[in-house]
Amino acid sequence: MIYFQSLTQSELAELLLPLSRVRRPGDLTDEMIDDKCRRQARYRAKQLFHWVYQKHETDWDQMSDLSKDLREWLKTNVEICRLKEHTKQDSLDGTLKFLWNLGDSKTIESVIIPAALQEKDEVDSNQDETDAATSSITPSLYAGKRVEGGLQGAQWSRLTACISSQVGCAMACKFCLTGIQGLDRHLQTHEIVTQVHELRRIAPITNIVFMGMGEPLHNLDNVAKACQILLDQDGMSFSKRKITVSTSGLVPAIVELGKRVDVSLAISLNATTDEQRSHIMPVNKKWPIAELLKACREYPLGAHRRITFEYVMLKDFNDTLEDAARLVRLMRGIPSKINLIPFNEHSGAEFKRPTDDTVRKFQRYLLDRELTATVRISRGRDILAACGQLRSVFGTARGTERHRDWAPAPAASTTGSVTSLNLLN
């Protein structure tokens, strides 16, 4: 059996080619027959992409415009992968987090993160971003109240699927719960695609970020192919601007990603000197900041696109204005936007979250120097939505015992006073 979600449309057409039949082949040259068969296989592959990804049909027999022969062949040769829900948690702020069981009983996480229309309006109205970021819109929408209308409601401007690329992660970043768990295995292409496919059944997902568990560029083949499938205009039809691959900085794989597929890039920078960065991200010892930024400068960005730089803010470690000044210098000449992420505390790390005031001052410093800098709220904090946290409590993570005592922040602090605008976009 082949998983449907592991195939690009052209691979599917190749697979269907031996099933193509041409009427009255005697009238045609070999070349003409071959051409007709290829066109037929391509047409069928397209029909199948529509059925599976756009109409969400899972029963081959219901695909009424396919021949009976083809349906029978599909039944014995191709399987539409489904992920089994292990745990689902919904947050007061609308964030919905899933822990999925894979075929081999490993578990992975995906999260749906909604961005409210009001948030978008505030940004689009082109007002001062800091004022917008500290305005009261998000608390009034979320604080202590359950979001009305579910994810189908019209109040969302964006529904972002945050998906995993590996079971665990090998990169061992010191602040990250997934990093502490270590790598179990890569996800296969169909396991990546199916996360989005499942979430699309639940909500009209508009954006995808590879910011769940795992280092996507450590699993480049499967991630690049999954992106190709997600971008297919006959399938889920995401636009290249709406898929973001986030990496801790595997330089050769960044270059390779740019060659294979046209998607947006995010870099988890998190520090501004090599000494500091190597301390929290071992990957920096292999590919230091200068090499990483060189790869960013050379990344094939289309017109009007920018690289997102994520910066996890760790109290008394990388949150001073000297850090901000170095960050400004590092960003010179790179079309960038900076996403400040106040550290999401967990018992597995030695770090603390800086105060909101420190975060705001850091952001103000960047904005005053004409950088785009947004602060990402810790969405879904009441449901363990930070990277690796759900799995560490309910799942099959190594190191689970060490984190049993981890408790989510109380719901009242879900919003905090620093809110996110331009969340992950």
Catalytic residue numbers? 109, 387
Report the residue from 94, 114, 179, 408 that binds ligand SF4 according to the rule CB under 6 A: 179
- Give the x-and-dash track for 371-390 against ligand SAH (CB under 6 A): ---------------xx---
| Count of residues interacting with ligand SAH (CB under 6 A) | 17
| 129 or 215: CB nearest ligand SF4 | 215
In the list ligand SAH, ligand SF4, none, the entry touching 211 (Cβ below 5 to 8 angstroms by class) is: ligand SAH
- State how far the alpha carbon of 24 is from the alpha carbons of 28, 38, 39, in Å: 8, 16, 16
Q: Are 160 and 113 in contact (CB under 8 A)?
A: yes
Select from 137-145, 166-174, 323-331, 391-399 the region that touches ligand SF4 (CB under 6 A).
166-174
Among 96, 123, 141, 211, which residue interacts with ligand SAH (rule: CB under 6 A)? 211
Residue closer to ligand SAH (CB basis): 94 or 179: 179
Distance of alpha carbon 122 from alpha carbon 142, whole angstroms: 16
Q: Under the criterion CB under 6 A, does residue 173 sit at the interface with ligand SF4?
A: yes
* Closer Cβ to ligand SAH, 248 or 318, answer by number: 248
Site mask for ligand SAH (CB under 6 A), range 235-274, x = bound? -----------xxx-------------------x-x----
- Out of 215, 262, 319, 323, which residue is the one contacting ligand SAH (CB under 6 A)? 215
If one asks whether residue 362 binds ligand SAH (CB under 6 A), the answer comes out as no
Considering only residues 189 through 248, tell me which ones interact with ligand SF4, judged by CB under 6 A: 214-215, 248
With respect to ligand SF4, which residue has the nearer C-beta, 351 or 365?
351
Which residue stretch of 97-105, 139-147, 171-179, 393-401 sits at the interface with ligand SF4 (rule: CB under 6 A)? 171-179
Determine the 3-state secondary structure of 255 from DSSP. helix
Phi, then psi, of 146 in degrees rounded to 5:
-75, 140
Q: Are 338 and 366 in contact (CB under 8 A)?
A: yes
The answer to whether 102 contacts ligand SAH (rule: CB under 6 A) is: no
Q: Which does 386 bind (CB under 5 to 8 A by kind): ligand SAH, ligand SF4, none?
A: ligand SAH
Residue 145 half-sphere exposure toward CB, CA atoms < 13 A:
10
For the residues of 158-224, what is the DSSP string, one character each?
EEEEE--SEEE-SS--TT-HHHHH-EEEEPPHHHHHHHHHHHHHHS---EEEE-SSS-GGGGHHHHH
In order, the DSSP letters of 258-302 are: HHH---EEEEE---SSHHHHHHH-THHHHS-HHHHHHHHHHS---
DSSP reduced 3-state for 415: coil
User: What 3-state class would DSSP assign to 41?
Assistant: helix
Rg of the chain taking only CA atoms, in angstroms: 23
Contact between 112 and ligand SF4 per CB under 6 A: no
169 part of the interface to ligand SF4, by CB under 6 A = yes
Measured from the CB atom, the residue of 8 and 268 that comes closer to ligand SAH is: 268
Which residues inside 315-344 make contact with ligand SAH, applying CB under 6 A? 341, 343-344
Distances (CA, A) of 164 to 111, 257, 354: 9, 17, 27
Of 20, 178, 336, 396, the one binding ligand SF4 (CB under 6 A) is 178
Q: Please report how the helices 189-202 and 220-231 are oriented relative to each other, as an axis angle in degrees rounded to 10.
A: 40
Give, as one character, the DSSP assignment of residue 245. E
The residues in 367-406 that bind ligand SF4, with binding defined as CB under 6 A, are 387
| CB-based burial, 343-355: b 16+ in 10 Å, e otherwise | bbbbebbebebbe
Binding site for ligand SAH (CB under 6 A): 175-176, 211, 215, 246-248, 268, 270, 310, 312, 341, 343-344, 346, 386-387
Binding site for ligand SF4 (CB under 6 A): 169, 171, 173, 176, 178-179, 214-215, 248, 268, 387
